[in-house]
Structure 1
Amino acid sequence: MEDSILDFTTNLAILHRQFQRAMNQILEADEMPINITEFYLLVLVSETSQLNQRKAAWTMAVDEGLMARMVHHLVDLKLLQKETDPDDRRNRRLTLTTDGQALVKQAITVLHDWWQQVTPTDADFDYAGITAQLQLLSSRVLRDQTESH
Protein backbone atom coordinates (compact mmCIF):
# COMPACT_ATOMS: atom_id res chain seq x y z
CA MET A 1 0.00 0.00 0.00
CA GLU A 2 2.78 2.42 0.77
CA ASP A 3 4.18 2.07 -2.73
CA SER A 4 0.83 3.12 -4.21
CA ILE A 5 0.69 6.07 -1.81
CA LEU A 6 4.20 7.13 -2.81
CA ASP A 7 3.32 6.72 -6.49
CA PHE A 8 0.13 8.73 -6.01
CA THR A 9 1.98 11.51 -4.19
CA THR A 10 4.75 11.66 -6.79
CA ASN A 11 2.36 11.71 -9.74
CA LEU A 12 0.13 14.30 -8.09
CA ALA A 13 3.16 16.54 -7.50
CA ILE A 14 4.34 16.10 -11.10
CA LEU A 15 0.90 16.93 -12.51
CA HIS A 16 0.55 19.92 -10.21
CA ARG A 17 3.93 21.44 -11.16
CA GLN A 18 3.50 20.75 -14.89
CA PHE A 19 0.01 22.24 -14.80
CA GLN A 20 1.24 25.34 -12.96
CA ARG A 21 4.09 25.84 -15.42
CA ALA A 22 1.84 25.40 -18.45
CA MET A 23 -0.91 27.65 -17.07
CA ASN A 24 1.55 30.43 -16.18
CA GLN A 25 2.94 30.30 -19.73
CA ILE A 26 -0.56 30.34 -21.23
CA LEU A 27 -1.70 33.16 -18.94
CA GLU A 28 1.35 35.20 -19.97
CA ALA A 29 0.94 34.41 -23.68
CA ASP A 30 -2.74 35.39 -23.54
CA GLU A 31 -1.67 38.57 -21.72
CA MET A 32 -3.81 37.78 -18.72
CA PRO A 33 -2.47 39.98 -15.94
CA ILE A 34 -2.45 37.23 -13.30
CA ASN A 35 -0.37 34.22 -12.31
CA ILE A 36 -1.61 30.74 -11.48
CA THR A 37 -1.87 31.36 -7.73
CA GLU A 38 -3.99 34.45 -8.34
CA PHE A 39 -6.09 32.38 -10.75
CA TYR A 40 -6.64 29.81 -7.98
CA LEU A 41 -7.75 32.63 -5.68
CA LEU A 42 -10.21 34.01 -8.24
CA VAL A 43 -11.68 30.53 -8.76
CA LEU A 44 -11.92 29.98 -5.00
CA VAL A 45 -13.75 33.30 -4.61
CA SER A 46 -16.07 32.44 -7.51
CA GLU A 47 -16.98 29.08 -5.93
CA THR A 48 -17.23 30.13 -2.28
CA SER A 49 -19.81 32.53 -0.89
CA GLN A 50 -18.94 34.72 2.08
CA LEU A 51 -15.20 34.01 1.67
CA ASN A 52 -12.93 36.27 3.65
CA GLN A 53 -9.26 36.95 3.10
CA ARG A 54 -8.06 34.96 6.13
CA LYS A 55 -10.11 31.88 5.18
CA ALA A 56 -8.83 32.13 1.58
CA ALA A 57 -5.22 32.20 2.82
CA TRP A 58 -5.82 29.20 5.05
CA THR A 59 -7.63 27.21 2.34
CA MET A 60 -4.91 27.88 -0.24
CA ALA A 61 -2.14 27.25 2.33
CA VAL A 62 -0.45 30.61 1.76
CA ASP A 63 0.59 33.07 4.44
CA GLU A 64 -1.59 36.10 5.10
CA GLY A 65 1.06 38.49 3.77
CA LEU A 66 1.09 36.82 0.35
CA MET A 67 -2.71 36.74 0.37
CA ALA A 68 -2.82 40.47 1.15
CA ARG A 69 -0.46 41.21 -1.76
CA MET A 70 -2.48 39.05 -4.17
CA VAL A 71 -5.76 40.65 -3.08
CA HIS A 72 -4.25 44.13 -3.44
CA HIS A 73 -3.02 43.28 -6.97
CA LEU A 74 -6.39 41.82 -8.00
CA VAL A 75 -8.27 44.81 -6.55
CA ASP A 76 -5.93 47.16 -8.48
CA LEU A 77 -6.74 45.19 -11.65
CA LYS A 78 -10.45 45.58 -10.82
CA LEU A 79 -10.91 41.80 -10.80
CA LEU A 80 -11.74 41.54 -7.11
CA GLN A 81 -13.59 43.64 -4.55
CA LYS A 82 -13.10 43.55 -0.82
CA GLU A 83 -15.35 44.79 1.93
CA THR A 84 -15.27 44.63 5.68
CA ASP A 85 -16.48 41.25 6.93
CA PRO A 86 -19.44 41.97 9.25
CA ASP A 87 -18.59 38.82 11.25
CA ASP A 88 -14.99 39.94 11.83
CA ARG A 89 -14.35 43.64 11.22
CA ARG A 90 -10.58 43.01 11.15
CA ASN A 91 -11.01 40.87 8.04
CA ARG A 92 -12.06 41.51 4.44
CA ARG A 93 -14.75 39.63 2.51
CA LEU A 94 -13.88 38.97 -1.13
CA THR A 95 -16.11 39.06 -4.22
CA LEU A 96 -15.42 38.99 -7.95
CA THR A 97 -16.11 42.01 -10.12
CA THR A 98 -17.75 41.59 -13.52
CA ASP A 99 -14.26 41.70 -15.09
CA GLY A 100 -13.09 39.10 -12.56
CA GLN A 101 -15.96 36.80 -13.49
CA ALA A 102 -15.11 37.16 -17.19
CA LEU A 103 -11.42 36.44 -16.56
CA VAL A 104 -12.24 33.34 -14.50
CA LYS A 105 -14.47 32.08 -17.30
CA GLN A 106 -11.72 32.69 -19.88
CA ALA A 107 -9.03 31.07 -17.73
CA ILE A 108 -11.23 28.03 -17.03
CA THR A 109 -11.55 27.54 -20.79
CA VAL A 110 -7.74 27.53 -20.96
CA LEU A 111 -7.64 25.04 -18.08
CA HIS A 112 -10.07 22.70 -19.87
CA ASP A 113 -8.03 22.94 -23.08
CA TRP A 114 -4.83 22.01 -21.22
CA TRP A 115 -6.39 18.95 -19.59
CA GLN A 116 -7.92 17.90 -22.90
CA GLN A 117 -4.47 18.03 -24.52
CA VAL A 118 -2.74 15.97 -21.80
CA THR A 119 -5.46 13.36 -21.31
CA PRO A 120 -4.49 10.16 -23.14
CA THR A 121 -6.98 9.35 -25.86
CA ASP A 122 -6.43 5.59 -25.52
CA ALA A 123 -7.62 5.46 -21.88
CA ASP A 124 -10.97 6.08 -20.25
CA PHE A 125 -10.45 8.78 -17.62
CA ASP A 126 -13.18 9.27 -15.05
CA TYR A 127 -12.46 12.83 -13.95
CA ALA A 128 -15.67 12.92 -11.88
CA GLY A 129 -14.57 9.83 -9.93
CA ILE A 130 -11.02 11.11 -9.44
CA THR A 131 -12.39 14.49 -8.34
CA ALA A 132 -14.75 12.89 -5.82
CA GLN A 133 -11.85 10.96 -4.26
CA LEU A 134 -9.59 14.02 -4.17
CA GLN A 135 -12.37 16.07 -2.56
CA LEU A 136 -12.67 13.46 0.18
CA LEU A 137 -8.94 13.72 0.84
CA SER A 138 -8.76 17.52 0.72
CA SER A 139 -11.84 18.03 2.89
CA ARG A 140 -10.36 15.69 5.50
CA VAL A 141 -7.03 17.54 5.43
CA LEU A 142 -8.83 20.88 5.84
CA ARG A 143 -11.01 19.50 8.64
CA ASP A 144 -8.02 18.02 10.48
CA GLN A 145 -6.14 21.32 10.20
CA THR A 146 -9.16 23.19 11.57
CA GLU A 147 -9.35 20.87 14.55
CA SER A 148 -5.63 21.26 15.31
CA HIS A 149 -5.80 25.08 15.35
Structure 2
Amino acid sequence: MLSSGMSEDRKRSLEVKDSAGEAVKLFLELVYTGTTSREFGHDSALSALDLAHRWQVQCVVTMLELALKEMVSDENFASIAAAAKLKGLHVLSSACRDFGASSSVVQKQLKARKLPGLVLELMGVKDAPAQGAAERDAGPSRKRRAM
Protein backbone atom coordinates (compact mmCIF):
# COMPACT_ATOMS: atom_id res chain seq x y z
CA MET A 1 0.00 0.00 0.00
CA LEU A 2 1.35 3.40 -0.96
CA SER A 3 1.16 6.10 1.60
CA SER A 4 1.34 9.73 0.64
CA GLY A 5 1.05 11.06 4.16
CA MET A 6 -2.13 12.87 3.19
CA SER A 7 -4.87 13.07 5.79
CA GLU A 8 -7.16 11.08 3.46
CA ASP A 9 -4.79 8.12 3.82
CA ARG A 10 -4.82 8.26 7.61
CA LYS A 11 -8.57 8.86 8.00
CA ARG A 12 -9.65 6.70 5.08
CA SER A 13 -12.06 9.47 4.16
CA LEU A 14 -12.14 12.39 1.78
CA GLU A 15 -13.57 15.77 2.69
CA VAL A 16 -15.49 17.62 0.01
CA LYS A 17 -16.19 20.92 1.71
CA ASP A 18 -17.75 22.77 -1.21
CA SER A 19 -20.52 20.26 -1.99
CA ALA A 20 -23.67 19.19 -0.18
CA GLY A 21 -23.66 15.73 1.36
CA GLU A 22 -26.54 14.51 -0.81
CA ALA A 23 -24.67 15.53 -3.96
CA VAL A 24 -21.53 13.71 -2.83
CA LYS A 25 -23.57 10.60 -2.01
CA LEU A 26 -25.25 10.74 -5.41
CA PHE A 27 -21.91 11.18 -7.16
CA LEU A 28 -20.32 8.25 -5.30
CA GLU A 29 -23.30 5.99 -5.89
CA LEU A 30 -23.14 6.71 -9.62
CA VAL A 31 -19.36 6.16 -9.68
CA TYR A 32 -19.53 2.82 -7.90
CA THR A 33 -22.79 1.35 -9.18
CA GLY A 34 -23.65 3.30 -12.33
CA THR A 35 -27.20 3.70 -11.08
CA THR A 36 -29.23 5.08 -8.18
CA SER A 37 -32.58 4.41 -6.58
CA ARG A 38 -32.55 7.65 -4.61
CA GLU A 39 -34.81 10.54 -5.48
CA PHE A 40 -32.90 13.73 -6.23
CA GLY A 41 -33.68 17.18 -7.52
CA HIS A 42 -31.89 19.45 -9.92
CA ASP A 43 -29.81 21.12 -7.19
CA SER A 44 -28.28 17.81 -6.09
CA ALA A 45 -27.82 16.76 -9.71
CA LEU A 46 -26.04 20.03 -10.55
CA SER A 47 -23.76 19.73 -7.51
CA ALA A 48 -22.95 16.10 -8.35
CA LEU A 49 -22.36 17.18 -11.95
CA ASP A 50 -19.86 19.78 -10.72
CA LEU A 51 -17.94 17.05 -8.89
CA ALA A 52 -18.01 14.66 -11.84
CA HIS A 53 -16.89 17.39 -14.23
CA ARG A 54 -14.14 18.64 -11.89
CA TRP A 55 -12.80 15.11 -11.34
CA GLN A 56 -13.29 14.18 -15.02
CA VAL A 57 -15.55 11.19 -14.38
CA GLN A 58 -17.15 11.31 -17.84
CA CYS A 59 -19.54 8.39 -17.32
CA VAL A 60 -21.12 10.20 -14.34
CA VAL A 61 -21.18 13.50 -16.25
CA THR A 62 -23.15 11.73 -18.99
CA MET A 63 -25.58 10.10 -16.55
CA LEU A 64 -26.28 13.41 -14.81
CA GLU A 65 -26.53 15.27 -18.12
CA LEU A 66 -29.28 12.88 -19.21
CA ALA A 67 -31.05 13.13 -15.84
CA LEU A 68 -30.95 16.94 -15.90
CA LYS A 69 -32.28 16.94 -19.47
CA GLU A 70 -35.51 15.48 -18.08
CA MET A 71 -35.65 17.96 -15.18
CA VAL A 72 -35.56 21.27 -17.09
CA SER A 73 -38.47 23.52 -16.09
CA ASP A 74 -39.29 27.22 -16.03
CA GLU A 75 -38.11 27.39 -12.40
CA ASN A 76 -34.68 25.82 -12.90
CA PHE A 77 -34.01 26.68 -16.54
CA ALA A 78 -31.38 29.35 -15.85
CA SER A 79 -29.24 27.22 -13.53
CA ILE A 80 -29.36 24.10 -15.71
CA ALA A 81 -28.77 26.03 -18.95
CA ALA A 82 -25.82 27.92 -17.43
CA ALA A 83 -24.23 24.65 -16.28
CA ALA A 84 -24.76 23.10 -19.71
CA LYS A 85 -23.09 26.04 -21.45
CA LEU A 86 -20.26 26.38 -18.95
CA LYS A 87 -19.37 22.68 -19.07
CA GLY A 88 -19.86 22.29 -22.82
CA LEU A 89 -22.58 19.64 -22.44
CA HIS A 90 -24.04 19.40 -25.93
CA VAL A 91 -27.00 17.11 -25.18
CA LEU A 92 -28.11 19.20 -22.21
CA SER A 93 -27.49 22.47 -24.09
CA SER A 94 -29.71 21.26 -26.94
CA ALA A 95 -32.44 20.23 -24.50
CA CYS A 96 -32.26 23.66 -22.84
CA ARG A 97 -32.45 25.47 -26.19
CA ASP A 98 -35.50 23.38 -27.16
CA PHE A 99 -37.17 23.98 -23.81
CA GLY A 100 -36.38 27.70 -23.86
CA ALA A 101 -37.73 28.09 -27.39
CA SER A 102 -41.08 26.58 -26.38
CA SER A 103 -41.45 28.19 -22.94
CA SER A 104 -43.34 31.48 -22.78
CA VAL A 105 -41.75 32.20 -19.39
CA VAL A 106 -38.22 31.76 -20.75
CA GLN A 107 -39.05 33.75 -23.89
CA LYS A 108 -40.25 36.63 -21.71
CA GLN A 109 -37.02 36.47 -19.66
CA LEU A 110 -34.93 36.39 -22.85
CA LYS A 111 -36.65 39.47 -24.27
CA ALA A 112 -36.13 41.32 -20.97
CA ARG A 113 -32.55 39.99 -20.76
CA LYS A 114 -33.23 38.77 -17.24
CA LEU A 115 -31.09 35.65 -17.63
CA PRO A 116 -27.35 35.23 -17.00
CA GLY A 117 -25.00 36.06 -19.88
CA LEU A 118 -24.10 32.39 -20.39
CA VAL A 119 -27.77 31.51 -20.83
CA LEU A 120 -28.38 34.41 -23.21
CA GLU A 121 -25.39 33.24 -25.24
CA LEU A 122 -26.66 29.64 -25.24
CA MET A 123 -30.03 30.83 -26.47
CA GLY A 124 -28.44 32.83 -29.29
CA VAL A 125 -29.36 36.28 -28.02
CA LYS A 126 -27.44 38.83 -30.04
CA ASP A 127 -25.19 41.15 -28.06
CA ALA A 128 -25.21 38.80 -25.05
CA PRO A 129 -22.50 39.72 -22.54
CA ALA A 130 -19.29 37.88 -23.33
CA GLN A 131 -18.47 34.93 -21.13
CA GLY A 132 -16.36 36.15 -18.25
CA ALA A 133 -17.32 39.82 -18.64
CA ALA A 134 -18.31 40.07 -14.98
CA GLU A 135 -14.90 38.80 -13.92
CA ARG A 136 -13.11 41.32 -16.16
CA ASP A 137 -15.18 44.17 -14.73
CA ALA A 138 -14.47 43.08 -11.15
CA GLY A 139 -10.90 44.38 -11.25
CA PRO A 140 -7.45 42.93 -11.70
CA SER A 141 -7.17 39.19 -11.32
CA ARG A 142 -4.49 37.39 -9.38
CA LYS A 143 -1.57 36.18 -11.44
CA ARG A 144 -1.37 32.44 -11.98
CA ARG A 145 1.80 30.71 -10.99
CA ALA A 146 3.19 27.84 -13.03
CA MET A 147 4.06 24.79 -10.96
TM exceeding 0.5:
no
Q: Give the structure with the larger helix fraction.
A: 1
Structure 1 or 2, whichever has the larger Rg, is: 2
TM value normalised by structure 2: 0.28
Identify, as 1 or 2, the structure richer in strand. Answer: 1
Between the two structures, name the one with larger relative contact order (CA 8 Å, sep ≥ 6): 1
